[in-house]
Structure formats: structure tokens, C-alpha cells
Amino acid sequence: MAITVTRLDEHWIASRDDEVIGEVHPWSAPNGKLRLFFDRTDPSAYEALIARINGPCLTTVNEADQPAVDALTALGFVPVRREVLLEIPVARTAFEVPPGYRVISAADTGIRKLMALDDALRDEVPGAEGWESDETSFREQTYDSPYFDPETYLVALAPDNSYAALVRIWNGPRPLPRLGLIGVLPAHRRHGLARALLSAAFNVLADRGAPLAIAEADDSNTASLALLRTFGATETGAELELARP
């Protein structure tokens, strides 16, 4: 039977015989790339939904979901990145902050300084190059987010009080805490700062009784993967980033 596509607010819904068979939520990321987030989408609905989207775009799909991968590649999408999915056991560790540095909660930072640090660190994350946040959106997605946790979103300050690094763990909406970002600016690397920040955040989770945390890392990001394996991270799967030119 024919597939009907209707627009609801900022997303599109595909239906067949009055049954919803797919949704797509387009999002213009701060690096200028259009990302598509599909929800409850049957492979047969991709073509009708994507027909509503103009120009270059990106989406992510589980590598093990072969019907979805096949449907998207048949529509002109090509793999551009692979992200490893990880589970990290939560346990207390004692990696100390390097001398001269100190750690504060993101709740105690200046929004513009934190935003600048976040943009700089994202610029080195595969797939997020060119990230430029605006203050309103950054505030909404950080301090105003229901998943913002001031005890697990931490910032490292250098001896001159400049912002040097951060770790960000979100608590929700997924069942397990999710490591969103761990990053150190180039001038402050090779001092154990990333390890110390991750230890501080994980110690909070351990005290709360959380057994595991989840994370993703580009499979070419050997430094991040090595760091997470230091904490016992194991691979649970992978996702493919697909691009339509």
C-alpha cells in the first residue's frame, strides 16, 4: 500500500494504512551539517521520508541493522565514519589531578568560556569539525537540560585559571550514564589530565552505585579508545555514519 508522509512541527512521519512506520527528525548541527535522526523506521519508509529532505545530509545507523544500512545505501548514502559502542565498568579509582590544575563543576563556570572550550574540543572530534555554538542553544543543551549533572560535568582549570579540559557525563534519558565527551586542549596534554577528570566523574557514579557507563568513540580515535580501555571499556557494537552528498 502507498506510504503517506506528513509534517508535524519540525519532523516528518511516514504512515501506511494509518499505521506509523517511520519518523525523521532533521537537525542543523552547529558545524553546519544537516543530521537526520530516524525513529521507529521500517526500511520501506526511508525513501519516502528522505524525499522530503533537500541537499547533503548525514545519519547514523547501527552497523548490525543490515536492512537499514541496505535501504540507505540504495538511496545514495555512503559510509563516512564508524563509531565503536562501549560499556565501561564503574569503579572508584585514584588518578590525581596534575599539580597546578584544579577541577570545578560546569555549574560554576562562565558560559562563554565553557562554550569556547567545548567548541575547541569538539573541533578535534571526528565528525564534529567546525563546531560553533551559539549562547542560547548552548545554555539550553547544557545548564537547562534535564540530564545535566553538575557532579559529573567537570572542567579542569590550568594554573593560570584558563580552561584546559572537560569531562561530560549525562544522566538520562538512557538507562545507563553516558560519557558524552572527554577532551583536553593540546597545550595541556600528556599530564594525565583526561585520566584524572574521568576518574573524578566515575568516582561520583561509583558512590551512587552505578554499575556501568556507556560511550561512543570513532574507531580511528586511538587515543580516546586507549584511555577508555584503561578504565576497562569493552566494545558492544558499532554505528555507521552515512552521508548523502
- Distance CA(41)–CA(29), nearest Å, equals 22
Domain boundary among 41, 57, 76: 76
Q: Choose the final residue of a domain: 76, 108, 128.
A: 76
Whether 171 is in a domain gets the answer yes
199 within a domain of the structure (yes/no)? yes
CATH assignment at residue 124:
3.40.630.30
Decide: residue 64, CB within 10 A, 0-12 exposed, 13-18 middle, 19+ buried. Answer: exposed
Same domain, 167 and 92: yes
Grid coordinates representing 136? 542560547
Q: What is the CA radius of gyration of the chain?
A: 20
Length of the chain measured in residues? 245
Looking at 49, 76, 103, the residue that finishes a domain is: 76
pLDDT value at residue 173: 84
| pLDDT of res. 172 | 85
In this structure, is residue 157 part of a structural domain? yes
DSSP H or E segment with residue 162: none
Report if residue 223 sits inside a domain.
yes
Task: Examine the domain organization and report whether 192 and 109 are in the same domain.
Answer: yes
Residue 190 lies in a domain: yes
Query: Is 177 among the domain residues?
Result: yes
Does residue 46 share a domain with residue 145?
Answer: no
- Vertex 95 angle, CA 158 and 225, to 5°: 90
Name the nearest CA neighbour of 217 among 154, 148, 126.
Answer: 126
Residue 129's pLDDT is: 87
98 within a domain of the structure (yes/no) = yes
Q: What is the CATH number of the domain that holds 35?
A: 3.40.630
Clarify whether residues 70 and 148 are in a common domain: no
Torsion sign over Cα 117, 119, 124, 126: positive
Is 107 in the same domain as 213?
yes
Confidence at residue 126, expressed as pLDDT on a 0 to 100 scale: 86
CB 86 within 8 A of CB 238: no
224 neighbors 217 (Cβ within 8 angstroms): yes
Low-confidence ranges of the chain (pLDDT < 50): none
pLDDT at residue number 147: 95
- From CA 213, how far away is CA 88, in angstroms rounded? 5
Range of the domain at 184: 87-237
